[in-house]
Amino acid sequence: DAMVIQNPRYQVTQFGKPVTLSCSQTLNHNVMYWYQQKSSQAPKLLFHYYDKDFNNEADTPDNFQSRRPNTSFCFLDIRSPGLGDAAMYLCATSRDRWGNEKLFFGSGTQLSVL
């Protein structure tokens, strides 16, 4: 089945220790997104790629970086995680970025910062 896969499902890191979350997709979608979601809050868009074109949200901290080496893979790097970065990180894809293109989500990575 075509899908969006996130690894790992749970990630524990130490305060200030760099961490990388990964996402892969077999849908061949052009757009890949990274969202941060804290408990009982709306998902917050961090950035998205339209093909190789990187789009950073204005309020995404510099601590967050992303890479998309090819169509299938996208990575979220948190350079120096703080306690406030503990959250669920959701990767999503869409065929295009216009109109009614629904998002397909991976299962998410729950990040804990100790």
Partner 1 sequence: GQNIDQPTEMTATEGAIVQINCTYQTSGFNGLFWYQQHAGEAPTFLSYNVLDGLEEKGRFSSFLSRSKGYSYLLLKELQMKDSASYLCAPIDSNYQLIWGAGTKLIIKP
Establish if 99 lies at the interface with partner 1 (CB under 8 A).
yes
Among 4, 32, 3, CA closest to 96: 32
* Length of the chain (residues): 114
Among 13, 22, 71, 105, contact with partner 1 (rule: CB under 8 A): 105
Among 58, 62, 84, 102, contact with partner 1 (rule: CB under 8 A): 102
Establish if 42 lies at the interface with partner 1 (CB under 8 A).
yes
For residues 6 and 65, which CB has a smaller minimum distance to partner 1 in the complex?
6
Establish if 40 lies at the interface with partner 1 (CB under 8 A).
yes
Under DSSP, is residue 87 helix (H, G, I), strand (E, B) or coil?
A: strand
For residues 84 and 102, which CB has a smaller minimum distance to partner 1 in the complex?
102
DSSP 7-40: E-SEEEE-TT--EEEEEEESS--SEEEEEEE-TT
**Which residues, 47 to 66, sit near partner 1 by CB under 8 A?**
none
69 cis-preceded (ω within 30 degrees of 0): no
| Contact residues for partner 1, defined by CB under 8 A | 40-45, 88, 90, 92, 97-100, 102-108, 110
